[in-house]
Amino acid sequence: MIENTPHKTKAFIAGVNLNDPNFDYYMNELANLTEAANMQVVGQARQNAEHIIAGTYFGLGKINEIKDMARGLKAKVLVLNDELTPVQIRNLEKLTKLRVVDRTELILEIFSNRAQTKQAKLQVQLAQLQYELPRLHPSENSLDQQRGNGGSTGGGFANRGAGETKLELNRRTIGKQISIIKRELQTISKQEEIKAKRRNQNHIPKVALVGYTNAGKSTTMNGLLTEFSKHSAKQVFVKNMLFATLDTNVRRIDLDNNFSFILSDTVGFISKLPHNLIESFKATLQEVKDADLLINVVDASDPNMIQMIRTTQNVLDEIGVKNTPMITAYNKADKSERNYPQIEGSGILYSAIDTKSIATLADLITKHIFSSYKQINLLLPLSAGKILAYLHENAQVLKENYQNDGIHVVARLSPQEQAHLANYIN
């Protein structure tokens, strides 16, 4: 049993197993999420069943067992492995005398605490309001006020309802708030689209880091920035916790061989990620949809690695990313006894904190995104200074020679650049 930790509310976690082979994995995730929400997991209960009980989630026998166990462990919060209906939550709170938090609300609260930028905060608020809307109940005002204000049964959920208590909200005001937030997000999204179009105009390949939360995506980005980029001062935030990064960070990586690509680091994924949250973050995940190559960063030291890969693929499918080429990057090899870095099929075993690993990863990226590039001879007019500058910015210039008939250039070009400069191909 975990020893008491000061300033942390004690939580009891529980779930219903409907013959799911991944149930143990989901419960382990739930424990990690609960800890990430600044609560202390003191015990857990499981019920094997053929179906969920409509009104109470668990059967009454299991509810009484949970009530007794939680009381003995002095737990104040009951955290459940699924998204519950409003009726189930109200009934469980009455029967157990515990504050009930379902998996969806737990994840939303963690996202709320992690959000830093205006866009991320708005996206989380939108998902929270959409979660709250069907859960408003006029007869539960006394309970709602207690829950909203983080009373004696609270557990770090003082911001429930996007900063306002449910007592102060009603369906009409929530609807208005949702409309306002959507308009604000549309404005931000348009601004981001303009930035993305500018990047696309340069025909620089786009690479997106994706994967399970806390697998090492941000550490990988920082490794590439330190090793190759002129902008290494623009490191991204890294911390060993779930959902450390909610905002998409975009950086340019300039490799030693004169190749460059745009690298984006996105929000991490987790099993049963709430649909409203995925919908809210679709604009943020646009960088993933636009990418020429995905790097699925996986924690190779985690025994649940296979399930994590499946989780990432499920989220990618949900946001409509299906045929983009992908490198599976098995990170944290330094925690194993295997030799690294090494290429394994279309993947790589590496450590994001190892410079040799980062160089090997960069080589693998180069092979994937620059395989269609060709070495082209160009003859530019002597007055074509802008075109030459464009080449130096966006292509790999191998040779450059000024002669009487013009500037002779040998460059490695993408198919788009070959079409763009067709008139100058010698």
**Could you read off the pLDDT of 225-281 as tens digits, one per residue?**
998 876 555 777 666 666 766 667 888 888 877 678 889 988 888 888 888 888 777
Query: In sequence order, which residues have a C-beta less than 8 Å from that of residue 144 and are 6 or more positions away?
Result: 137, 165, 166, 167
Percentage of the chain lying above the pLDDT 90 cut: 46
What does the pLDDT average to over 168-190? 84
Task: Identify the pLDDT of residue 415.
Answer: 84
Q: Quote the mean pLDDT of the chain.
A: 84
Q: Which residues of 324-333 are buried (b: 16+ CB within 10 A; e: fewer)?
A: eebbbbbbbb
Task: Identify the pLDDT of residue 136.
Answer: 72
Between CA 101 and CA 80 the distance in angstroms is 6
Q: Is it the case that residue 16 has pLDDT exceeding 70?
A: yes
What does the pLDDT average to over 276-291? 80
- Which tokens in the block code for residue 115? 């959000």
203 and 144 in contact (C-beta within 8 Å)? no
Confidence of residue 6 (pLDDT cuts 50, 70, 90): low
What does the pLDDT average to over 52-65? 95
Torsion of CA 223, 119, 128, 211, to 10 degrees: -20
Torsion of CA 114, 117, 119, 123, to 10 degrees: 10
Q: Is it the case that residue 68 has pLDDT exceeding 90?
A: yes
Task: Identify the pLDDT of residue 193.
Answer: 73
Task: Identify the pLDDT of residue 152.
Answer: 38
Task: Identify the pLDDT of residue 233.
Answer: 55
Q: What is the pTM of this model?
A: 0.76
List the one residue out of 299, 288, 355, 308 whose CA is nearest residue 329. Answer: 299
Q: Is it the case that residue 96 has pLDDT exceeding 90?
A: yes
Q: Is it the case that residue 130 has pLDDT exceeding 50?
A: yes
Q: Is it the case that residue 312 has pLDDT exceeding 60?
A: yes
Between CA 342 and CA 2 the distance in angstroms is 39
Task: Identify the pLDDT of residue 147.
Answer: 46
Q: Residue holding tokens 């910015």?
A: 393
Q: Is it the case that residue 361 has pLDDT exceeding 90?
A: yes
Q: Is it the case that residue 2 has pLDDT exceeding 80?
A: no
Between CA 59 and CA 57 the distance in angstroms is 7
Determine which of 115-119, 122-126, 348-352 has the lowest per-residue pLDDT on average.
Answer: 115-119
Between CA 12 and CA 98 the distance in angstroms is 10
Query: In sequence order, which residues have a C-beta less than 8 Å from that of residue 158 and are 6 or more positions away?
Result: 149, 150
Q: Is it the case that residue 220 has pLDDT exceeding 50?
A: yes
pLDDT greater at residue 329 or residue 232? 329
Between CA 227 and CA 15 the distance in angstroms is 45
Phi, psi of 395 (to 5 degrees): -135, 175
- Which tokens in the block code for residue 424? 């100058």
66 and 58 in contact (C-beta within 8 Å)? yes
Between CA 309 and CA 22 the distance in angstroms is 13
Q: Residue holding tokens 């890294």?
A: 238
Q: Is it the case that residue 282 has pLDDT exceeding 60?
A: yes
Determine which of 24-28, 36-40, 368-372 has the lowest per-residue pLDDT on average.
Answer: 368-372
Determine which of 171-180, 197-206, 409-418 has the lowest per-residue pLDDT on average.
Answer: 197-206
Between CA 122 and CA 126 the distance in angstroms is 6
List the one residue out of 81, 82, 101 whose CA is nearest residue 39. Answer: 101
What does the pLDDT average to over 335-362? 93
Task: Identify the pLDDT of residue 3.
Answer: 45
Residues in the chain: 426
- Which tokens in the block code for residue 5? 């930790």
